[in-house]
């Protein structure tokens, strides 16, 4: 009888420790999700802003081209600037992904 009581006690202790472990893992995953959501929101805001700037540049280019037969130097400069903004938008997406991965790896390092 005592053996069974000890076995049940050990089993309850194991279940309690497992529950604590999984609760901690759940908290860690929730923190990771929050960090990634924050990074995603920042990226989306910046991406929208950059896309608006690109759109404004394109409208300005169209307006200049409709006024002139030969594309002016200003028009070429705006095209170059627009292309740079497009490239920046693409790089920002990659940077956000790397930032989130870096934060996750840093947390793993801190746990070690």
pLDDT tens track for 7-44: 888 899 899 999 999 999 889 888 888 887 887 788 78
Contacts of 75 (CB under 8 A, 6+ apart): 61, 64, 65, 68
Span 40-65, mean pLDDT?
84
DSSP H helices in the chain: 2-67, 73-111
| pLDDT number for residue 70 | 65
CA distances (Å), 34 to each of 28, 41, 93, in order?
A: 10, 10, 18
| pLDDT number for residue 69 | 65
| pLDDT number for residue 71 | 66
pLDDT tens track for 65-95: 787 666 677 778 888 888 888 887 777 767 7
Q: Measure the CA–CA gap between 27 and 111, rounded to whole angstroms.
A: 14
Measured from the Cβ of residue 35, the count of other Cβ atoms closer than 10 Å reads 15
Site of tokens 């009888």:
1
Rg (CA), the chain: 28
């Amino acid at each position: 009888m005592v053996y069974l009581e000890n076995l049940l006690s050990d089993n309850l202790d194991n279940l309690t420790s497992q529950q604590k472990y999984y609760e901690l893992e759940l908290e860690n995953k929730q923190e990771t999700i929050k960090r990634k959501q924050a990074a995603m929101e920042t990226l989306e805001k910046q991406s929208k802003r950059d896309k608006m700037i690109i759109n404004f540049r394109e409208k300005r280019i169209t307006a200049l081209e409709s006024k002139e037969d030969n594309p002016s130097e200003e028009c070429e400069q705006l095209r170059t600037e627009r292309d740079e903004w497009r490239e920046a938008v693409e790089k920002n997406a990659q940077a956000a992904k790397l930032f989130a991965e870096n934060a996750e790896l840093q947390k793993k390092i801190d746990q070690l």
